[in-house]
Structure 1
């Protein structure tokens, strides 16, 4: 819902426009102000999307108000109401985008048309085309970071070839998911010139610079993707370019040789131009995409087992005996995915990953015990951490959670973890619902006790420190009716109670319910009941 603010120092104009737009179904949340200062007060409290304002006002005129609006809400559309003698003002105003003007004498139809045009402009602008255009110069860096996230996602499990094809196309990855890939790991030396570890920002900047430098060495004969892994090192996924007349085996073999030479050149170039020394490990055997996780583990372990400090090293390895290392890393990666689901309250996703982890761990016949032990305590510590964070010690039992040997079997151990997780999700959901109900009840009580005061969405949202849109959605979710409908219902019931008594005049009843004019109250009452307040009172007397 868009928010429109009507501003004019003449109350009769402001109130009249407010009444007109209140009767229209334009999806607008309406507010009014009788001066530029009051208008700014509204804009300091909440987002404003459209301002319909007089251009000549005392103290703060429309142009000054426009400049203040631009500082707060740049997307806001402004419609000025002007007189015949305001040409100089108008000329200054229309130099700004998102500003239009109307003569006060043109009538309500023209004003309504200007506001509907402003709404259409807002809807188009919210497509963010202009933001995409502004981001063009950062596209390469953003793609690198996104592709790095995707690479870490790939390491968590196998994707079908058709899924890879869609992913590659959307992320701008120029590799063929149906062909094997050569994997190379480039490890940056972690000390700067002062012998100190660089900051995170420095490491990221160096890795990106090295990636862009390396692309100039690899582009000629290969299709490649360079990504930054979780340790801040560069991982290269490489395929030979087609068209050299070799069979697949020969093409990949020659590509490995090509890479050994190019990485040597890159080592020297990075040292000369970036002041960075690197160690490179290349997997000589091309791997299918489903083997990527295992191969990555293999070459990283070879970096760990290297001879010497690895500076200026280019090391080629073959893939052997990788299953156990791959399983251990895969379990750790997926255990991290559990934390993501737990944080987001996604029960089904959490339980699905948990079942997959348990199945994988029990399937490891050679080294099952240590793997199961690592997995159990990883998950138990995760659950224990969230029990602490959410202060649920009195609701979710922790007995036996950190003592694996209290359970008779591995099956019992993991069943205990599963039940603990489900209990944690149950209490979290229950707590969310309880807090939502209590918050909405607070709003309802406030409405009933202040029915004659300002009950705008912004006012009510500010009272409970929510943003207006969220309060509107939460109220509808909890009560089944829109907030405005509920306020009207309360006013109607209170009006009937007052009209049954003769103590107040009808105009006084309307005033006590927040209606500024007798006609507004009469119109509202008749629309709701089919009779006027006077007719209702007379019928009750009879």
Structure 2
């Protein structure tokens, strides 16, 4: 929703423009200012998208206001409305981008048309395509970051999207979603004994990924990234030319499976040789030692996470210090090999819980616990305590210990008759935490709406603009407007209007206050404005079009 500020030192003009624009169906948050100084206060307090202002005003005039607007909100559109044919002022106005000029004598239709034009210009300027075109360099950087984040997401447990190719296209990833991928991992260390900061280690890892990309370029498709442990991970496929060439050679040999296996071995040898070159380049140019672990076969995308987990586990055992070593690990499935470590998945569980992603959390929980019968007691203990610590950390941070029924049992698995019963308890506790989160959000929303309504009742004689009310409860105006409409079924402005009508009626029933005094008590300093407001509301009731206002009135009375 755009915000429009009306500025004129003549109160009747300001109020008239406000009422006219309120009734023309534009989705705008309207604000009023009766002087340039008051307009500056608005500009300092909140974002303003369109300003409809007189040029000639005492104190700060329209042209001075224009300079302040361009400093504070450069995207803001300005419409000057004046009764003076001042050539200098007009000339300066029309020379400034985003500024329109109208004479007051042209009437409301011209004003409405100018406001609609300003809204259209704002929409055009904020189109995503235009923003991307103006920030292409930044987009390229963000693409690299997004690709790394996307694959880290897959490596650490997320299931690939059903249409993986669509994700690759959107992120400009050159890998083929229809073919398996080799996985390689590089652990970095300084050849010298010099200590390195986190920033230096991260910079070194990025430099290694770029150097490897250049040395692998052409022969393979590759993408390098940094995992959460600070190691470099590469995803590698044969380039289209190399794959076609290999298929032709296999056809010529006509040896069926033997040809395929021989070709796989040949490609693996090529990768080992290239990583040896990468190691030499890193050592000579950056004083970095890189130990590389390379899977001996490509992995399907759906099994990428388990392949990565297996490589990390096997990579923990090295011969010597492992420096400058390129180690090829067998990824052949083993009946006793565990597909994942609970600790490797705890961050994903915690992230889903913190973000309120119930379905994703429970899906990962079920994946971890469904295989519990196939593992021994030490593994089950590790799994139980890993999940319990995720839940316990969340409960402590949000101070929910008194609201979770089974809180004391979280770290006591021996209280359950079986592991199946223990994990069922953890799953139920997880569901309870998601319910508490949902109810807490609803309760906080209801409390915020209650505070706003109470504030409105106590300050009907003051400024009750959306900006002021939003500042009172520390929300942004657009969110407050949407939240109030969701909770109460009517716009906040309608609620305020109904509240003022009810208060005015109650005061007018007495004999001790004049109409002017009643108007002041419900926020109208000028008697003409109050009379206009009251008559307009009365006409709406008489015409039978005030159903929503009647509902609001009931809410106000309640």
Aligned with residue 532 of structure 2, among 505, 519, 525 = 519
Computed over aligned residues only, the root mean square deviation of the Cα atoms, in angstroms, reads 2.7
Q: Counterpart in 1 of 2:387? A: 379
Q: How does 1:117-196 map to 2 (within 5 A)?
A: 117-156=117-156, 159=159, 163-189=163-189, 191=190, 195-196=194-195
SS at 1:259 equivalent:
helix
SS in 2 for 1:223: strand
Within 5 A, what are the aligned runs for 1:527-538?
527-530=540-543
Q: Relative to 1, partners in 2 of residues 1:157 and 1:345: Cα closer, same or farther, differing over 3 Å?
A: closer
Q: Spell out the pairing of 1:485-504 with structure 2 (5 A cutoff).
A: 485-504=494-513
Shift of residue 49, structure 1, vs aligned partner = 1.3
SS of 2:318's partner is coil
Question: Which whole-Å CA distance do the structure 2 matches of 1:435 and 1:151 have between them?
Answer: 36
Cα contact 1:492–1:525 (8 A) shared by 2: no
CA contact (8 A) 2:11 2:34 kept: yes
SS of the equivalent of 1:237 reads: strand
The alpha carbon displacement at 1:151 in A equals 1.9
How far apart, in 2, do the equivalents of 1:51 and 1:368 lie?
71
Partner residue, 2:327: 315
The equivalent residue for 2:305 is 293
Residue 404 (str. 1) matches residue 413 (str. 2): yes
More off after superposition, 51-60 vs 379-388: 51-60
Is 2:85 the partner of 1:76?
no
Residue aligning to 1:536: none
**Structure 2 CA distance for aligned equivalents of residues 448 and 353 of structure 1:** 49
Alpha carbons 1:161, 1:177 under 8 Å: kept: no
**Which shifted more, 486-495 or 127-136?**
127-136
Q: Is the 8 A contact 2:183 2:235 kept in 1?
A: yes
Q: 1:210/1:477 Cα in 2 relative to 1: closer, same or farther (>3 Å)?
A: same
Using a 3 Å threshold, how does the CA distance of structure 1 residues 370 and 142 change in structure 2: closer, same or farther? Answer: farther
Instruction: Give the deviation of 1:158 after TM superposition.
Output: 7.7
1:506 & 1:24 partners in 2: Cα distance? 29
Bigger shift: residues 304-313 or 80-89: 80-89
Deviation at 1:399, TM superposition (A): 1.8
CA distance in 2 between counterparts of 1:188 and 1:86 reads 71
Q: How far apart, CA to CA, are the structure 1 residues paired with 2:473 and 2:161?
A: 50
Name the CA distance, whole Å, in 2 between partners of 1:289 and 1:257. Answer: 23
2:350 and 2:486 map into 1 onto residues whose CA distance is 28
| Cα distance in 2 for residues equivalent to 1:192 and 1:322 | 36
Count residues in correspondence: 525
Match of 1:261 in 2: 273
Q: Secondary structure at the match of 1:411?
A: helix
Segment drifting more, 464-473 vs 429-438: 429-438
Q: Are the aligned partners of 2:182 and 2:298 in contact in 1 as well (CA < 8 Å)?
A: yes
Pick the aligned partner of 2:437 from 424, 428, 434. 428
1:332 is displaced (CA, Å) by 3.4
Tell me if structure 1 keeps the 8 A contact 2:404–2:429: yes
- Matched position secondary structure for 1:399: helix
More displaced stretch, 91-100 vs 486-495: 91-100
Q: Distance in 2 between matches of 1:95 and 1:314?
A: 67
Kept in 2: contact 1:8–1:57 (CA 8 A): yes
Describe the SS at the equivalent of 1:184: strand
Tell me: CA distance 1:461–1:140, structure 2 relative to 1, closer, same or farther (3 Å). closer
**1:304 aligns to 2:302 (yes or no):** no
Q: Alpha-carbon deviation of 1:250?
A: 4.7
Report the alpha carbon displacement of residue 104 of structure 1 after superposing the two structures with TM. 3.6
Q: 1:84 to 1:258 in 2, by over 3 A?
A: farther
1:49 alignment counterpart: 49
Deviations 1:185-213 (A, max 9, x none): 12222x496721322x3333322222222
2:291 is matched with 279
Partner Cα distance (1:195, 1:360) in 2:
45
* Structure-1 residue corresponding to 2:201: 203
Contact 1:207 1:232 in 2 (8 A): yes
**Deviations, residues 207-249 of structure 1 (Å, cap 9, x unaligned):** 2222222222112211222222112222112121233233354
Q: 1:44 to 1:135 in 2, by over 3 A?
A: same
**Long gaps (5+) in structure 1:** 532-542
Deviations 1:70-107 (A, max 9, x none): 33323222222356654444444445433322234433
- What is the aligned partner in structure 2 of residue 357 from structure 1? 368
Matching of residue 395 in structure 1 with residue 403 in structure 2:
yes
Partner of 1:215: 213
Unaligned runs of 5+ in 2: 251-259, 545-558
Aligned partners of 1:273 and 1:87: how far apart in 2? Answer: 68
SS at match of 1:328: coil
Tell me the TM-score normalised to structure 2 length: 0.86
Of 142-151 and 409-418, deviating more is 142-151
Separation in 1, partners of 2:483, 2:45? 20
1:359 positional shift: 0.7
Residues 163-188 of structure 1 show CA distances to partners (whole Å, capped at 9, x for unaligned) of 22222222222222222222221222
Q: Deviations over 1:89-133 (max 9, x none)?
A: 444444543332223443322221111111112223333334323
Structure 2 SS opposite 1:281: strand
The answer for the alignment partner of 1:228 in structure 2 is 226
Determine helix, strand or coil for the equivalent of 1:246.
Answer: helix
Q: Secondary structure at the match of 2:9?
A: coil
**2-structure distance, mates of 1:193, 1:16:** 77
Q: Distance in 1 between matches of 2:192 and 2:82?
A: 66
Deviation at 1:505, TM superposition (A): 4.0
Residue 340 (1) aligns with residue 351 (2): yes
* In structure 2, C-alpha distance between the alignment counterparts of 1:337 and 1:197, rounded to whole Å: 28
- Comparing 381-390 with 307-316, which one deviates more in the overlay? 307-316
Distance 1:33 1:299, change over 3 A: same
Q: Taking structure 1 as reference, are residues 288 and 460 closer, same or farther at Cα in structure 2, changes over 3 Å only? A: closer
The answer for the alignment partner of 1:539 in structure 2 is: none
Measure the CA separation in 2 of the matches of 1:486 and 1:158.
Answer: 46
Aligned to 2:288, the other structure's residue is in SS state coil
Change (3 A) 1:165 1:481: same
